Amino acid sequence: MKLIITFLLLSFCLQINAKEYNVLDFGAKGDGIQKDTQAVQSAIDAATKNGGGKVVIPAGKTVVIGTIFLKDFVTLYVENGAVLLGSPDIEDYSDKTHKNMYKNEPHMDRCLIFANEAKSIAIEGYGTIDGNGYPKNFTNKTGRPMLIRFMNSNDIHVRDITIINPAAWTSAFLYCNEITVDGIRIHSRVNHNGDGLDFDGCSNVRVANSSFNTSDDSICLQASQPNIPCKNIVVTNCTFESKWAGMRIGLLSRGNFESVTVSNCTFSNIDDSGLKIQMNEGGEMKNMVFSNLVMKNVPRPIFMTFAQQKACVDAPEEMYPMKSMHDFIFRGMVVDNTELDKNSAIFITGITGHYIENVLLEDIQMTIAGGGTLQDAQKANIKEYTLDVLDGWWPEFHLVGTLPSYGIYARHIKGLHIDNVHLKIKDSDKRPPIVFDDVVNGEISNVFTDGKPISEKQIVKKK
C-alpha cells in the first residue's frame, strides 16, 4: 500500500513539475552573453504543445533573446532576480511581427515579444524585462524595436513585472480583448518614443497599481481600424511621470472610443499634458470619467482637441470626416503648477462648426505660477487646429502658444458646466481666469480665485 501511495505522489509531483518549463533545461545559458532565443522559444513551444504552462526565466540569470513568439496558454515567468534581456543586434528581431500603426514610423515595426491570435497568455514575475534599447544599439536608421506587441489575442495578463529600456514603445496591444495589467513598473527613458502601454482597438482593459516613467505617453488609447472600437477601459491606482503625456486618448482615432474611467492616480513632472484627449480621424469619442487625480508640474492638466488629421499608417488619401466628441466628466482634481511658467492651464477646443459637447469640470483645485502679461490677456486670433495650421502633423499646444487665460480656456464647446473650481496664483497674472470662446450653453458656478468668488467681469465670453 505504501508503495502505491508513494507512486501516486511521485506521479502527482511529476505532473505539477511538467507544467513548468525552465529555459535552462532547453539549452539556455543565462550568462548575459550567449543568445538564448531558441532555447526560450523551444520552452514556449513545448509548453503550448502540452496544453500550457509556465516558461521560467530563473532567478540570478540574465537570458539574452531576440524576437520570441508567445503562444496559447503560456505564462512567461521572470523570477525575482532574473533578467530577460533584449539582444543589441537588430538582426535578431524578426520582421514577421506586424507593424507600427503610426504613419512615418516603420523603424518601430519589429519587436522583442510577439503574439498573434493567442489565447490566455501572460507575462508575470518580480524580475525584469530589459529592452537594451540604448541609442548605441538602435537608431531610426537601424530600426528601433518595440518591446511587446500582442494582436488579435484574448485573455492577457501582465503582472508584477518590471519593464525597462525599450528602444521604442514598451508595448502595443492591437485588437485584443480582456487585458489585465496589475502591479507593473515601466521605465522607458533611454531612447525616443518610449510609450508605456498602448491599447489600440482593445476592449475590457484593466490597468491598476502600476507606475510609469516614460519618454513619451505613459498610457495611450487608440483605434486604428474604423470597425474596431477602443472601449471599456479602467485605469486606477497608478502613478505617471513622462516627457510627454500621462494619458493620451486618441490621435490614432479611425475607430470609436467609449466607456473609459481613470481614477485615483497621480501625475508628476509631465512635460506636455496630464490628460491629452484628441479625436481627429473620423471616429466617435464618448462617455468618459476622470476622478480623484493629483497633478504636480503638469502644464496642461486637461488638453482636449477635436480636429482633422491623418495619423494612421493605413490612412486613405482623402481626409476623414469629423463625427463627434461628447460626454466627459472631470471631477476631484488637485493641480500644483507653482513651479512652472505661465503656459499652464486647462485647454479644451473644437474647431469652427465642430463642437466638443457635454463637458463637466467639478471639484477642481488648481494653483498656478502666474506671470501672464496684459499683452497675453489681449491676445486675439488664437490659432485653430485647422489643416493649414497642423501642416500634416498633430494638434500640439505649441501651435497655439500662450493662452489669454490663466485657468481655463474653452473654445467651440456645446454644454460646458464648471462648478466648485478654486484657482490660486503664486505671482501676479494680468489674464482673466476663464475665457469662453464660442461656448454654447456654458454654465459657471462656485468658482473662486485666491479664495474670493469670481465676478462676471472676470469671465471673458467671446462669440
Residue 9 reports pLDDT greater than 80: no
Q: Tell me how far CA of residue 378 lies from CA of 111, 405, 438, in angstroms.
A: 50, 10, 17
- Give me the residue label for grid cell 473654445: 411
For residues 286-305, give the mean pLDDT: 98
Alpha carbon dihedral 163, 161, 183, 263, in 10-degree steps, equals 30
Residue 108 reports pLDDT greater than 50: yes
Q: Taking the model in full, what pTM does it have? A: 0.95
Instruction: List pLDDT tens digits, range 388-429.
Output: 999 999 999 999 999 999 999 999 999 999 999 999 999 999
pLDDT on residue 333: 98
The length of the chain is 463
- The DSSP annotation for 167-179 comes to SS-SEEEES-EEE
pLDDT on residue 16: 43
Of 196, 248, 192, the closest CA to residue 223 belongs to 248
- The DSSP annotation for 1-42 comes to -HHHHHHHHHHHHHHHHTTEEEGGGGT---EEEEE-HHHHHH
- The DSSP annotation for 130-199 comes to E----TTT--TTT---EEEEEES-EEEEEES-EEE--SS-SEEEES-EEEEEES-EEEE-SSSS--SEEE
- The DSSP annotation for 224-244 comes to -STTS-EEEEEEES-EEEESS
Grade residue 463 by pLDDT with cuts at 50, 70 and 90.
confident
Residue 14 reports pLDDT greater than 80: no
Task: Report H helices in 240-346.
Answer: none
Q: Tell me how far CA of residue 96 lies from CA of 122, 154, 172, 175, 410, in angstroms.
A: 21, 20, 15, 17, 45
The secondary structure of residue 103, as a DSSP letter, is T
Grade residue 10 by pLDDT with cuts at 50, 70 and 90.
very low
Q: Tell me how far CA of residue 63 lies from CA of 29, 39, 134, 163, in angstroms.
A: 7, 10, 18, 14
Instruction: List pLDDT tens digits, range 73-98.
Output: 999 999 999 999 999 999 999 999 99
pLDDT on residue 150: 98
The rounded distance, in Å, linking the Cα atoms of 417 and 437 is 14
For residues 270-290, give the mean pLDDT: 97
Instruction: List pLDDT tens digits, range 117-171.
Output: 999 999 999 999 999 999 999 999 999 999 999 999 999 999 999 999 999 999 9
The rounded distance, in Å, linking the Cα atoms of 418 and 446 is 8
The amino acid at 282: G
CB 384 within 8 A of CB 352: yes
Which letter, b or e, does each residue of 260-291 get, where b requires 16 or more Cβ atoms within 10 Å of its Cβ?
Answer: bebbebbbbebebbbbbbbbbbbbbbbebebb
Residue 4 dihedral angles phi and psi, to the nearest 5°: -65, -45
Biggest CA pair distance of the chain: 95
For residues 279-292, give the mean pLDDT: 97
Residue 6 reports pLDDT greater than 70: no
Alpha carbon dihedral 72, 78, 79, 82, in 10-degree steps, equals 150
pLDDT on residue 317: 87
- Mapped onto helix, strand or coil, the DSSP state of residue 432 is coil
State what percent of residues in the chain have pLDDT above 70.
96
Angle subtended at Cα 258 by Cα 447 and Cα 420, rounded to the nearest 5 degrees = 10
For residues 183-199, give the mean pLDDT: 97
All structural domains of the chain, each given as residue ranges with its CATH number in brackets, are 68-77+101-461 (2.160.20.10)
CB 354 within 8 A of CB 306: yes
Task: Report H helices in 18-126.
Answer: 37-49
CB 402 within 8 A of CB 372: yes
Instruction: List pLDDT tens digits, range 226-269.
Output: 999 999 999 999 999 999 999 999 999 999 999 999 999 999 99
DSSP H or E stretch at residue 447: strand 434-449
For residues 358-386, give the mean pLDDT: 96
- The residues, ordered by sequence, that sit 6+ positions from 369 with a Cβ below 8 Å of its Cβ are 337, 338, 339, 340, 341, 342, 344, 425, 426, 427
Residue 395 dihedral angles phi and psi, to the nearest 5°: -80, 85
Instruction: List pLDDT tens digits, range 337-369.
Output: 999 999 999 999 999 999 999 999 999 999 999
Instruction: List pLDDT tens digits, range 449-460.
Output: 999 999 988 999
Instruction: List pLDDT tens digits, range 161-186.
Output: 999 999 999 999 999 999 999 999 99
CB 51 within 8 A of CB 29: no
The rounded distance, in Å, linking the Cα atoms of 226 and 238 is 30
The secondary structure of residue 321, as a DSSP letter, is P
Beta bridge partners of 62: 31, 83
Of 402, 385, 216, the closest CA to residue 305 belongs to 385
Beta bridge partners of 346: 408
Mean per-residue pLDDT of the chain? 95
CB 313 within 8 A of CB 103: yes
